[in-house]
A and B are shown apart, each in its own frame.
Chain A
Amino acid sequence: DTGVSQDPRHKITKRGQNVTFRCDPISEHNRLYWYRQTLGQGPEFLTYFQNEAQLEKSRLLSDRFSAERPKGSFSTLEIQRTEQGDSAMYLCASSLVGGFAEAFFGQGTRLTVV
């Protein structure tokens, strides 16, 4: 296990379709985060899990977005009824529990809604 893995790397979808992304964190990491990054901006926090519990959600996360982390291992982020404004890079990160350990990021899933 060499790092955080995200799948797919790229996704093109038509407006109105549902999409699901997967993140596999570093195996011993209990915390898992989702961020969204648009062109020319820094990553924006969406949500985070500690083990299987979703402990915080950003106001950016509308009702069309849902994230899960069953069994505290991999996580999925689903976007329903996609809109053009959802086009962005979706980044997953993981970290150890305990203080503010640094987060390790995956390479992201680039979503394009046409």
Chain B
Amino acid sequence: AQKVTQAQTEISVVEKEDVTLDCVYETRDTTYYLFWYKQPPSGELVFLIRRNSFDEQNEISGRYSWNFQKSTSSFNFTITASQVVDSAVYFCALTEVTSGTYKYIFGTGTRLKVLA
């Protein structure tokens, strides 16, 4: 069965610190996609990144970087030099390809608080 685990319920950091949000997933599919979304207080989920199961290259986008490791079924997200505007709930999600369903399975989210 597919499952996404975000063990960190809440993280608090001081501005300019680096922070890593963990995501561990379970799937029987060999082909799947992983996503990260940000949910600010306004409530709208904002897409950050999509990664397919065949692409294990790490990705960097500005202060954001993602580390995908199939061996440990993890897709971790690091924010470098955090800012107050990064405060939000971050969700990791999984979609399986072989099952033919297009639904996202979300983790329970990690609330990040960046203190000035």
Contact = CB atoms under 8 A, between A and B. Distances in A.
Do A and B originate from a single complex?
yes
Interface in B93-112: 93, 95, 97, 101-109
B94 to A, nearest CB: 10
Interface string A20-44: 0000000000010101000011111
B64 interface: no
Contact of B103 (A48, A89, A91): A48
Contacts of A93: 45
B103 A42 contact: no
Interface residues of A, number: 27
A106 B39 CA distance: 11
A42 B109 contact: yes
Most B Cβ at <10 Å: residue of A41, A43, A44 = A43
Most B Cβ at <10 Å: residue of A35, A42, A43, A110 = A42
Interface in B25-63: 33, 35, 37, 42-47, 50, 52
